[in-house]
Amino acid sequence: MATSKETGKIKKKISRNFVIALSVVSIIGFASIILDSFFSINILKYMDTLWLIALGLGLIFETSLKELKSIKKKSLNSEYTGKITMVVVGSASVLAGLLSLPQIAIKNPTFLAIKGIVSILAIVIIIIQTWFENQNN
């Protein structure tokens, strides 16, 4: 039986870190509905904070910070540019999540922009990873 190396096919994997982050976001949404429906506990004030932090950490963990440390040894190329962008967007997402806590509640158009960017990135990554997975099957 031919392996993927022998046939020349590149086997791509779905990113475990980002799938976990998306799962956490889904669980947060489900928990919010359950808490509100059954126990009358409303956590809607914290929803933006929770999903921004979850997706931001997912983007940060997705980049493999160990590889980014090797930029000094290797030159900056398109692979690293994408990873640096993901770290910056992920860090901005975590910061926006922390600053959107109800106790702090900074209302700024920049936070809306960060939410939009993170949402679009999440959708694009889901589409790309689903496409890669379908190509392997």
3 assigned to some structural domain: no
Would you state the pLDDT for residue 1? 42
120 assigned to some structural domain: yes
Would you state the pLDDT for residue 46? 87
82 assigned to some structural domain: yes
39 assigned to some structural domain: yes
Domain total for the chain? 1
DSSP symbols for the chain: ---HHHHTPPP----HHHHHHHHHHHHHHHHHHHHHHHH----HHHHHHHHHHHHHHHHHHHT-HHHHHTTTTS---HHHHHHHHHHHHHHHHHHHHHHTSTTT----HHHHHHHHHHHHHHHHHHHHHHHHHHHH-
131 assigned to some structural domain: yes
Q: Containing domain of residue 44, as a range?
A: 15-136
Would you state the pLDDT for residue 90? 82
20 assigned to some structural domain: yes
132 assigned to some structural domain: yes
Would you state the pLDDT for residue 79? 67
Residues of the chain with pLDDT under 70: 1-15, 18, 78-79, 126, 129-137
Would you state the pLDDT for residue 106? 74
127 assigned to some structural domain: yes
Instruction: State the pTM of this model.
Output: 0.69
